[in-house]
Structures are given as C-alpha cells and as structure tokens.
Amino acid sequence: MNRTLQTILLGLLTAFLFSAFIYFEEFNLTNRLLNTLFGLLALALFLYIPKKSILVAGFFIGLFWFYWIGYSFEYQGVGYMTPIVTIGFGLIYLLFFLPLYFTNKPYIRAILLFGLSFVEPFDWNWLQIELIFVDSYIGVYKYQLAVVLASLSLVSVTPKKYKYTPLLLLIFALNFTYPPQEDAPLKIKLIQTDIKQEYKWTREALSPTINTIYKEIQTAIAEQYDVVVLPESVFPLYLNNNPKIIKELLKASHHIAIIVGALLRENSKSYNVTYLFQNGNYQIAKKLVLVPFGEYIPLPKFAQKIINETFFSGASDFVTADQPTDFVIKGIKFRNAICYEATCSEIYKGDVKYLIASSNNAWFAPSIESTLQKLLMQYYARKNGVTIYHSANYKGSGIIK
C-alpha cells in the first residue's frame, strides 16, 4: 500500500474510533462493550501510529466532533463563514494533537495525551478526552484515563515474554460506581419546542410563540405538575421590557412554578437569562459561562472588537453573572444552567444535587450537536452525582443521569 495512503487511513481510523460513541448515540446504537473497545483502540492508535497520521487524526476529529459549529453563522448574516469555520476546527484540533507528532515513544505520547486532557482551546471545552468512555465499562475520572494510557503505553517497554501484562492494569480503570444520583421529589414537566432558528426571531413568530408558551403552562397546570421548564430564550425578547407577559406569568405562578428562558436588558447590557416565576414573584438567573465566539470572543480586546463588528454585527457582547444561581422550588434547591453552562465544570461547584438546564439547539439543526451536548451533560452529571432536568428547543429535552 502506498505509504501516504496508509498514513491517511490510519489517521482516519483513529479519528473514527475516537468519535464513534457520538454517532452510536445519535443513531440509538450505543453499546457499552463497543464503546469500551473503540475507545481503547483509539487511544492505543494515538500512542503507536506514525507521526503524520497524528495530524490526520486530529484534523478529522475536529471535523467529526464539530462540523456543525459553523451552522450558526448563517443566522448572523455571514453564512459564507460556515465552511471556513468547519475547516478551522479541523485545523485547531490538528494543532491540539500536534505535540504527539514530535515523539515516537508511546510512553511520552501517553504523558502528552494526558496533559492535553486539561487543555481547552479558546475556552472551548467540548472535547474531553475521557468523554469517549462515558457510556462504557471504563470510568471518566482523570485517574482512570491515566491508568488506561499507562497500561497501553507500558506494552512498548515491557520485555517480550510479558509484553501484554501491563494491560491487566485496565482493571483499575473499570467503572464500578459513580456518586449516587436521585430524582427530585417534585413533578417536573420538561417542554421541548421545535421552533426553527430562521423563524424564531421574526415578528411573525412572536405571537404564536407566546401563545404556545401559555398553552404549555396551562396544560402543565391541568396535569398537576409542580414545575414546568421551558427552553433557553423561548421568549425571543427582553422579557423585563414586557410587563403584560410578566403579569400573566405571575398570575399562573400561583398554580405552578414556571422556569422560562428569555433575554434581559439592564443598564444598557444584554444578558441571556432564566426566569423563575413562583407564588406571584419572580427571580432571574444570569448566565455564568458564555459560549466562546457565540456570546463572547476569547481573544485580546483589540481582536474582540474587530471580530465582533465584522462577523457578529456587534451581537457577541453578552455579559455574565459573578456566580451560579440556585433556585429554591417548594423547598428543593436547583442549580440553574443555560445551554453551554451545563457542560462546564464551573456550574457543578459547591452543593449541587439537581440542575435545571435549558437550551436552544436549533442554532445547529440538523446535526450531532444535541447528542454531544447530552453526552457531556451525562459526563458531568455522573462525575458529580447530579441529576439534570433539561428543556430544549429542537432536540435534547429529558432527565439526564
């Protein structure tokens, strides 16, 4: 076989094995044994394949995991950026895995790969190396990733007679238990809407959307739910500037706790927020962690301004809260998370047992984005012993453990 072709195929195989668990979940084909084997093989290949295959693997992992990110640029009026962003993410993850290129020694690659598990390019943390084991027999803690990498790499320095004995170390990477996760002692209704992103923010969509929200709330009241949760920015407006809507929600809140996403305009600043309406009062939770390049630009100030004005029409200028917000509903405490936040470690700090998350996944429809988001939420939920109640527009609503 031509050496160049072999290099490309080995890189592609590595990327495929590293990404397969996402697509298995997307098409309801998840199998813990397959995920375990594919994950182990992917990491083994990273340790042993030729240097140039590392670059191919990194590039295609960027594509397989994040081809969808450019979709949202269509709604910013810069749709021509979509293929550029897609290729850009391929190049970012080629560079991400580049340190492995500079050595052929598996045990050094193992150390480098473990180090990369702590790296988040441009604050983008959706490629967690240990995530490949989230639905497998291997655990997702850092020490378990270290054991896997040590086991696979030590094969290369073990005498031939005992060559594969280091693989016995994999026993210590097996997942026997995670912290306990419990259901909240409340009857919670999670709403999944299906409002197309190109329609969501139009004037024509506003009245039907508001009527749909009111109808969902009344249905939940009739079904005797304690709480109804609606998606991120389901109200496509600055809710604090719409007293009539607030009045209606306050009235309904005497019968049911209402959690709903909207925007907030305060002191000339924009916030992506969640409102809790309960017992005739309301509370606002501001977003703590913004989406890189979607809600803020993770670059120096001079570059932020140029990119924001050129590609986002000044829209990428949301600001954040200083700390997470907890809602107390009928005596039960819930941590609030808005979309990307639910996949960030910051939101799980402190005393968190239940988390209410809301998303608008229509930005990236149709794609694997909502599936990858779900797997990441499972990853954090299991590591932290948290039960997540997720309401989304397009796809992804459900209880996540």
Closest C-alpha among 394, 396, 398 to residue 364: 394
Residue 104 in 3-state DSSP? coil
Q: Which of 287, 374, 383, 395 is catalytic?
A: 287
Q: How far is the CA of 369 from the CAs of 72, 80, 394, in angstroms?
A: 11, 20, 11
The total of other beta-carbon atoms located within 10 Å of residue 392's CB is: 28
Contact present, 140 and 133 (Cβ < 8 Å): yes
Q: Is 339 noted as a catalytic residue in this protein? A: yes
Q: How far is the CA of 128 from the CAs of 187, 352, 373, in angstroms?
A: 33, 22, 12
Backbone angles phi, psi at 360, to 5 degrees: -120, 90
Contact present, 56 and 10 (Cβ < 8 Å): yes
Q: Which of 130, 216, 232, 295 is catalytic?
A: 232
Q: Is 344 noted as a catalytic residue in this protein? A: no
Residue 354 in 3-state DSSP? strand
Backbone angles phi, psi at 260, to 5 degrees: -145, 140
Contact present, 63 and 90 (Cβ < 8 Å): yes
120 residue type, one letter: E
Q: Which of 189, 216, 339, 395 is catalytic?
A: 339
In whole angstroms, what is the distance from residue 82 CA to residue 62 CA?
A: 14
162 residue type, one letter: Y
Closest C-alpha among 381, 297, 390 to residue 344: 381
Backbone angles phi, psi at 42, to 5 degrees: -60, -45
Q: How far is the CA of 76 from the CAs of 198, 312, 363, in angstroms?
A: 10, 6, 10
114 residue type, one letter: F
Contact present, 32 and 98 (Cβ < 8 Å): no
Q: Is 232 noted as a catalytic residue in this protein? A: yes
Where residue 199 falls (left for φ over 0; alpha for ψ -120 to 50; beta otherwise) is alpha
In whole angstroms, what is the distance from residue 258 CA to residue 19 CA?
A: 37
Q: Is the peptide bond before 185 cis (omega within 30 degrees of 0)?
A: no
Q: Which residues are catalytic?
A: 232, 287, 339
